[in-house]
């Protein structure tokens, strides 16, 4: 499930293999994968044909290709949803079962000539979105390496690894809301890039229960949480980053590396590693959460006395 680190691995791969190249052909194999493109499948194909990819940018889980050669300024947004992949391959490679969109790339020595969007569950998609100024560009251009952002991603906040963000901002964002801490972490408008897996991991690392009320969270707790978020994302990125040089970027492979080092997520019934190291006997539990699951250690992530 691609969260920030997995999407960053994809971004880096596209930056290496696709940036600077022209999209010579565009073929949509499943219209559902471009349903967010409001002008329809034909417009998607025709508008993009002949464009050159001038940059590859990410914020949170949103990824977009900056383009030259368009009449109206827009970016090609890709969201991987939960099963999306972007692969760079030879045009002659057999079609993947869930191949949705293919982009024939201008020939270049030693580089594969096709970009493919593959998506089993179709929660993801690709579409053109007009570029608008970021609402949070900093004065003096600082932090405005990408002062324009696709409209479709303009509502989300700076992401966990954005250098122009700090724990004070996170504290204020959390305090503005009255909701459970984990819900807030998953809200891309408060902090971008966190999904269910890394939310559980960061909360575990910070020794915080996701049931805590954001309205009563303390500064030092938010500082701990922010540090944990950054650390978890960085470690996942390092684990997935090994595939930067491979000929294609495999999202599932990228997240797979890190799954070996998860401490809480998916570990129901297994010992809490921190408690075990401290000679305590505590077991990770799974609880229903918004129609899915939360994994926590009941000992080192104490539940608030009163849960809203």
Partner DNA sequence: ATATCTTCCTGGGGGC
Partner DNA sequence: TGCCCCCAGGAAGATA
61 is catalytic: yes
173 within 8 A of 190, measured Cβ to Cβ: yes
Does 306 bind DNA (CB under 7 A)? Our answer is: no
| Among the residue ranges 43-51, 85-93, 190-198, 242-250, the one whose residues contact DNA (CB under 7 A) | 190-198
The residues, ordered by sequence, that sit 6+ positions from 240 with a Cβ below 8 Å of its Cβ are 5, 6, 8, 9, 253, 254, 255, 257, 258
Closest approach of Cβ 170 to DNA, in Å?
Answer: 15
Phi, psi of 192 (to 5 degrees): -95, 150
Give alpha helix (H) positions in the chain: 4-17, 40-48, 167-175, 181-186, 196-205, 219-240, 251-259, 273-277
* Distances, alpha carbon 301 to alpha carbons 33, 102, 205, 296, 298, in Å: 40, 46, 9, 7, 6
Does 8 bind DNA (CB under 7 A)? Our answer is: no
Does 183 bind DNA (CB under 7 A)? Our answer is: yes
- The contact mask relative to DNA for 97-126 (x = CB under 7 A, - = no) is xx---------------------xxxx---
Does 279 bind DNA (CB under 7 A)? Our answer is: no
292 is catalytic: yes
- The contact mask relative to DNA for 35-74 (x = CB under 7 A, - = no) is x------------------------xxx------------
Does 274 bind DNA (CB under 7 A)? Our answer is: no
Does 293 bind DNA (CB under 7 A)? Our answer is: yes
The active-site residue, picked from 21, 59, 61, 116, is: 61
Closest approach of Cβ 24 to DNA, in Å?
Answer: 29
- DSSP code per residue over 241-265: GGGTTSSS--HHHHHHHHHTT-SST
Closest approach of Cβ 81 to DNA, in Å?
Answer: 5
* Distances, alpha carbon 29 to alpha carbons 2, 180, 241, in Å: 22, 41, 30
Q: Which residues bind DNA (CB under 7 A)?
A: 1, 3, 32, 35, 60-62, 79, 81-83, 97-98, 120-123, 152-153, 155, 177-180, 183, 186, 188, 195-197, 290-293, 308
């Amino acid at each position: 499930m691609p969260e920030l680190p997995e999407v960053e691995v994809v971004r880096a791969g596209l930056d290496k293999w696709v940036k600077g190249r022209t999209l010579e052909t565009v073929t949509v194999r499943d219209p559902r994968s471009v349903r967010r493109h409001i002008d329809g499948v034909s417009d998607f194909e025709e508008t993009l044909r002949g464009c050159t990819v001038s940059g590859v940018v990410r914020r949170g889980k949103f990824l977009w290709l900056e383009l030259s050669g368009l009449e109206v300024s827009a970016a090609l947004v890709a969201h991987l949803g939960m099963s999306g992949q972007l692969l760079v391959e030879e045009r002659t490679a057999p079609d993947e079962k869930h191949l949705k969109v293919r982009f024939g790339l201008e020939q270049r020595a030693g580089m594969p000539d096709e970009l493919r969007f593959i998506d089993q569950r179709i929660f993801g998609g690709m579409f053109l979105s007009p570029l608008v100024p970021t609402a949070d560009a900093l004065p003096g251009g600082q932090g405005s390496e990408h002062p324009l952002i696709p409209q479709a991603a303009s509502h989300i906040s700076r992401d966990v690894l954005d250098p122009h963000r700090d724990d004070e901002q996170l504290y204020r964002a959390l305090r503005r809301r009255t909701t459970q801490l984990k819900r807030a972490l998953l809200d891309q408008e408060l902090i971008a890039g966190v999904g269910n897996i890394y939310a559980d991991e960061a909360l575990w690392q910070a020794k915080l229960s996701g049931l805590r009320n954001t309205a009563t969270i303390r500064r030092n707790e938010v500082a701990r949480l922010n540090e944990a978020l950054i650390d978890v994302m960085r470690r996942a990125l390092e684990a997935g980053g090994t595939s930067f040089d491979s000929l294609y970027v495999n999202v599932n492979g990228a997240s797979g590396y890190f799954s070996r080092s998860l401490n809480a997520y998916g570990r129901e019934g297994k010992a809490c590693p921190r408690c075990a190291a401290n000679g305590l006997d505590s077991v990770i539990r799974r609880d229903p959460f918004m129609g899915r699951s939360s994994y926590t250690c009941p000992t080192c992530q104490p539940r608030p006395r009163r849960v809203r």
